[in-house]
Amino acid sequence: MIHYALICSLEHEFDGWFSSSMAFEAQAARDLVECPVCGDINVRRALMAPCLPRKSNARDPAKAPQPDVPQPSAPPATLQQPSPGHTVAVAGDRLPAHVRVALQRLRAEVERHCDYVGDQFAEEARRIHHGESERRAIYGETTPDEAEELAADGIEVSSLPWVPHSDS
């Protein structure tokens, strides 16, 4: 069914339901569409205002059933691309195969060229930064807090999507 806002020559507005726009044209052409107020058959379609789906209204905090509590309007729900340096979560199971392979290759490169220092990562990164350890690339585990502290000290840290090896 298709809904039309209709208007007669005397500006009476009313609703009409038709199986299609062709059905409306056909019925109007045969004078079958008449104004329920005055019976005028000189009926045309009124201009339609854009209709928002109900769902978006329901999510609008201003229309939430809490009239006593003023609520700030929610930010638009658009997803933005993550900024460089931010940790991005990647769901491994759903990765397209070629992305997974690329990440596995990345992991292999890191393992080949960097020293694994385990959970001593933050400590070792600091030592290298201060010239107390051999200058080299390392990798290991660290907490987001530690990574933040390192970054604050000017020590460059990157989080990598660590996918399982292809044989695991």
Q: How far is the CB of 32 from Zn ion (least distance, A)?
A: 15
CB contact set of 112 (below 8 Å; sequence gap of 6+): none
Q: Which residues bind Zn ion (CB under 5 A)?
A: 8, 10, 12, 35, 37-38, 40
Q: How far is the CB of 6 from Zn ion (least distance, A)?
A: 10
Tell me the three-class secondary structure of 120-139, residue by residue: CHHHHHHHHHCCCCCCCCEE
Nearer to Zn ion (CB atom), residue 10 or residue 101 = 10
Nearer to Zn ion (CB atom), residue 11 or residue 132 = 11
Structure tokens at 80: 């933005």
Q: How far is the CB of 13 from Zn ion (least distance, A)?
A: 9
β-partners of residue 161 are none
Coil/strand/helix, residue 117:
strand
What is d(CA 105, CA 111) in angstroms, rounded to the nearest whole number?
10
Nearer to Zn ion (CB atom), residue 45 or residue 129 = 45
Q: How far is the CB of 43 from Zn ion (least distance, A)?
A: 8
Nearer to Zn ion (CB atom), residue 32 or residue 74 = 32
What is d(CA 16, CA 67) in angstroms, rounded to the nearest whole number?
35
